[in-house]
Amino acid sequence: MIDYTTSKKLRAQYIQQELEKYYPETPVPLDHTSAYTLLIAVLLSAQCTDERVNQITPKLFKKANTPQKMIKLSVDEIREIIKPCGLSPRKSKAIWELSKIIIEKHEGKVPESFEELEKLPGVGHKTAGVVMSQAFGHPAFPIDTHIHRLAQNWKLTNGKNVEQTEKDLKRLFPKESWNKLHLQIIFYGREYCTARGCKGLVCPICRTLYPNRKKPIEKKG
């Protein structure tokens, strides 16, 4: 029996191999038809489930699925539609403002760089990473709460903060696997290694990596 506790690299290889069995296909969880609609959907997903976002965006995108159409709506109109997603005052303002910037500074197209994406209102590093990987196909490893938590359960990072987790995972996994692996870890975290249900003790991967672990892992950072 392999002792995975001794080597981070060994754990990473096993995890990648197992996740490929669980999730050979990785459909993008947020419904979208363009880089712009994905950007808006990802922005809306902050502190909101993908399922809820997918219920809201058809109504929003029916009215405005381009930045040109979006700025024809008022911030209040946007807010009324996206209210069920939470944080609607902040998100509606960001959606309207970033749409205006995309028209004025980027010829109506979502910029294809981390630097320019992160300059947009409401767009942080994680959101930019999702757009870069899922809309444009560039290697990125956006760290959401599931990935941050599972990386700690599997001792792939010290979990000090999401920035450190991103660096650690990028060092451990091949660059060409980042985009798919990012989604595989999220799917596994939602289905098997849940925040309340596993804590490093219950799911198949945690049990294989740490068969003798007795104490639950509490997420840091």
* pTM of the shown model: 0.92
The pLDDT score that the predictor gives to residue 189 is 97
50 catalytic per annotation: no
Catalytic residue among 144, 170, 180, 220: 144
CATH architecture of 35-109: Orthogonal Bundle (1.10)
Res 218: pLDDT: 83
Segment 32-72, tens digit of pLDDT: 999 999 999 999 999 999 999 999 999 999 999 999 999 99
Instruction: Classify each residue of 143-168 as buried b or exposed e, where b means 16 or more C-beta atoms within 10 Å of its C-beta.
Output: bbebbbbbbbbbbbbebeebebbbeb
- Per-domain residue ranges of the chain: 4-26+141-209, 35-109
pLDDT (mean) for 116-120: 98
Arithmetic mean of pLDDT over the chain: 96
Residue 221 confidence (pLDDT) above 90: no
Confidence bin at 88 (pLDDT 50/70/90): very high
Cα separation of 27 and 148, whole Å?
Answer: 21
Q: Report the pLDDT averaged over residues 145-172.
A: 94
Q: How sure is the predictor about 27, in pLDDT bands with cuts at 50, 70 and 90?
A: very high
pLDDT band at 159 (very low <50, low <70, confident <90, very high): confident
**Strand, helix or coil for residue 160:** coil
Question: With 80 as the cut, is the pLDDT of residue 13 above it?
Answer: yes
189-220 tens-digit pLDDT: 999 999 999 999 999 999 999 999 999 988 78
Which residue type is seen at 54? N
Q: Indicate if the pLDDT at residue 86 is higher than 80.
A: yes
Q: What CATH class does 4-26+141-209 carry?
A: mainly alpha
Measured CA to CA, the distance from residue 62 to residue 65 in angstroms comes to 7
Domains 4-26+141-209 and 35-109 share a fold: no
- What lies within 8 Å, CB to CB, of 43 at 6+ separation is 91, 94, 95, 98, 122, 123, 127
Catalytic-residue membership of 3: no
